[in-house]
Amino acid sequence: MKIWISHPDAVEFLGPLPDGADLAFLPTPSSPLPGDPAEVEFWVPPFLSGGSTTVLLPQMTSLKVVQLLSAGADAWAAKVPAGVTLCDARGVHDSSTSEWVVAAILSSLRRFDHFARAQAEPRWSYADVTPTDELAGKRVLVIGAGSIGSAVARRLEPFEVSLTFVARTARPADGVRGVDELPQLLPAADVVVLLIPLTPETTGLVDKAFLAAMPDGALLVNAARGPVASTDALVAELGTGRLWAALDVTDPEPLPLDNPLWTMPNVLITPHVAGSVRGVLRRGYQLAGAQLRRYAAGQELVNVVRDGY
C-alpha cells in the first residue's frame, strides 16, 4: 500500500505502520513526485493546502483516503472524486484554535492591540483607552457547536461569561440553538465567535443584516474561514466604529494592503495563525497514523467529511 505524506519530520508521530506500507514524501505540490501518483492509496496533504494541491487528484486513480491536517475541508470537499473518503482533522486543532479565540477576545476587550502600537512608538498610553472593557459577565454567542466550540467553552467558563451555542440544526437536548434563530440571538450577544465550516450555506452568513443585528460595542471573532463574513459588509459596519472585530481569517487571504480593515483601531487582525502551533504536526500525524491503521484493518474511519462538514 503506497502512502504519501507531506512532512518527513513527522514520521515518528505516525506510530507503527501496517504491514506492506510503502511511505513516500511530497512536501509541496511543486516538489518532485516521489513515485507514480496513480499507485497512491492513502494521502496526507500539507497543512492548510488547497487548490494548488488538489490538482493532483485526477492523477491519483488508486486513491482511497485523503486525510487532511486541517479542521476545515472546504478546499477539498467538492474536488475529491467519488469513491475516495475525505477525512478532516477534527480534534487536532481544538486546543490551539480555542486558545486563539480566548486570546483574541481578551486582547480586544483589554486593548492589547492599542498598547502594542503605543509601545512601538514608544508612548505611555494609560489615559488613551482606560478603563478598558472586560470579559467577566459577557454574553458570548458561539456559532459552531463542534469540538472546537466545546474547547472554547471549557476555556471561557472560568471567565464568568454566559454561553449560547448555535449549530446548523438545533439540538434542544444539548442546549444548542439553530442557525435560523440568529436574528433573535444576535441582539443579546456581547461577543460573537465564528467557528463554522465554510459551505455554500455558510458563505456570506455574516452580512449587512447580521452585523446590524449585533448591539453597539459588540465584538465579532472570526476563527472560521474568511468567506463566512462578507468583507464589504465588515468594512462598512466596522468603519463606523460601532462594532469591534478580531479576525484570524479574511476574504481574500492575504488581505490586500489597501483594505481599510488594516488601519481601523477597532479591528485586530492575525494572519490565519490560530492552528499554526508547534504541536499541530504531532497531533495531526498521530491522527493520520490511527486512520491508516484503521484503513488497513478494514475498519470505519473517523472524521469523515459529509456535505462539507
Q: Is 229 helix (H, G, I), strand (E, B) or coil?
A: strand
Give the list of residues 6+ apart from residue 5 with CB closer than 8 angstroms, or none: 11, 14, 23, 24, 25, 26, 43, 44, 285, 288
Are 95 and 151 a contacting pair, CB within 8 Å? yes
Q: Which of 154, 225, 278, 283 is catalytic?
A: 225
- The 8 Å CB, 24+ separation contacts for 300-306 are 301/65, 301/85, 301/87, 302/87, 302/90, 303/87, 303/88, 303/89, 303/90, 303/91, 304/85, 304/86, 304/87, 305/73, 305/76, 305/77, 305/86, 305/87, 305/88
- 306 belongs to the catalytic site: no
DSSP label at 32?
Answer: P
Instruction: State the cell numbers at 293.
Output: 491503521
Which residue in the list 272, 283, 293, 306 is annotated as catalytic? 272
What is the helix, strand, coil percentage profile of the chain, to 5? 35, 15, 50
Cell numbers describing residue 136: 467577566
Cell of 306: 459529509
At residue 48, what is the residue type?
L
- Is 276 in contact with 59 (CB distance < 8 Å)? no
- Annotation says 225 is catalytic: yes
Residue 296: how many CB atoms within 10 A of its CB? 17
- Active-site residue list: 225, 272
